[in-house]
Amino acid sequence: MSNLKSNLNESNSNGIYSTEINMSSDSKISDWALDESNYRDDETYTSVFNKIGEAVNESETLFDFLQKALSIFYYTKFSIFILLIMAIFHLTMIYTGINHLENCPKQPKIPVYIFICGGVGFLKCLQLIWIQIQKHSDFDDYIYTNYRSNSFGNDTQNNVSSSMIDREEQRLNKGSRVTDAIISTFLFIWFLIGNYWIWSIYQPNYEMELLEPNNWCSKKLYIFSIVHLYTYYSICGFIVLLVILLTIFTQIPCLILRFQDS
């Protein structure tokens, strides 16, 4: 009888101990997943700059750092907001181009340019947004799968980011990089051609004249075309400025060391 009681007590204590371990493990996993989710949902400028600081230490070359830094900015809520605005803007381009196909006889290629640029640009925005959605979806699937299998190790928190990056790179290598390169190249060349068409008739007549019935262009269409060009100029300028600032940021530690040595 005493042996039976001792066995029961031992089994109960082992069960309680294992339950506590499982509860503790589950609690750590859920707390960590919650922290990661809150970190992702509550992005701040501080967290972004912390990541950039880590990228400085981890990068071997300036190009490697710029690539990582731009990727950090890309995966923020602000970039998603900008992509949504650009998607709406490209839909407006499609609408404007269709409605003014015959309203610019002086340069009939302008409405065609606006329409095609809007359509391809909208697809490009959808592609970039989809990549971000897939990234967050992969993160949630990773957390759920490992939580259910209870296979988290001590190094999981350190390796989850690299695992997500590997997944994303594998997905991009299966064709999306080629598609992205084709779309980007087409948009760049098409944009250069559009610049020539639009600026070649700068300040056209906005109303049809009896003596020159084909020497005019819709005011709404042409002004919208100019706005479109300056929007793209602003985006390119912002990216160039960001690259310059990031380059300067990487040189600050070197300048500090030189100042201290002197």
The candidate with the shortest Cα–Cα distance to 70, out of 60, 55, 84, is: 55
In this prediction, residue 210 has a pLDDT band, given cuts at 50, 70 and 90, of confident
Q: With a cut of 80, say whether residue 241 has pLDDT above it.
A: yes
Rg (CA), the chain: 28
Give me the chain's average pLDDT, please: 74
Predicted confidence at residue 224, as pLDDT, reads: 97
Name the range with the highest mean pLDDT among 113-127, 129-143, 175-189. 113-127
Report the pLDDT averaged over residues 23-29. 46
Summarised one tens digit per residue, pLDDT across range 94-105 is 999 999 999 999
Summarised one tens digit per residue, pLDDT across range 38-66 is 444 444 455 666 776 677 667 777 677 77
Predicted confidence at residue 185, as pLDDT, reads: 94
Q: pLDDT > 70: what percent of the chain?
A: 58
Between CA 253 and CA 117 the distance in angstroms is 43
Predicted confidence at residue 127, as pLDDT, reads: 87
Kindly list the domain boundaries of the chain, sorted by start residue. 75-261
Higher-confidence residue of 165 and 122: namely 122
Amino acid symbol at 199: W
Cut 0.85: pTM above it: no
Predicted confidence at residue 151, as pLDDT, reads: 46
Give me 220's structure tokens.
Answer: 């709404």
Residue 138 contacts residue 103 (beta carbons within 8 Å): no
Q: With a cut of 60, say whether residue 138 has pLDDT above it.
A: no
Lowest mean pLDDT among 106-115, 129-138, 144-153: 144-153
Higher-confidence residue of 205 and 162: namely 205
Lowest mean pLDDT among 36-50, 65-79, 162-176, 232-246: 36-50
Give the SS3 label for residue 107: coil
Would you report the helix, strand and coil content of the chain in percent, each value rounded to 5?
Answer: 85, 0, 15
Q: With a cut of 80, say whether residue 143 has pLDDT above it.
A: no
Predicted confidence at residue 243, as pLDDT, reads: 81
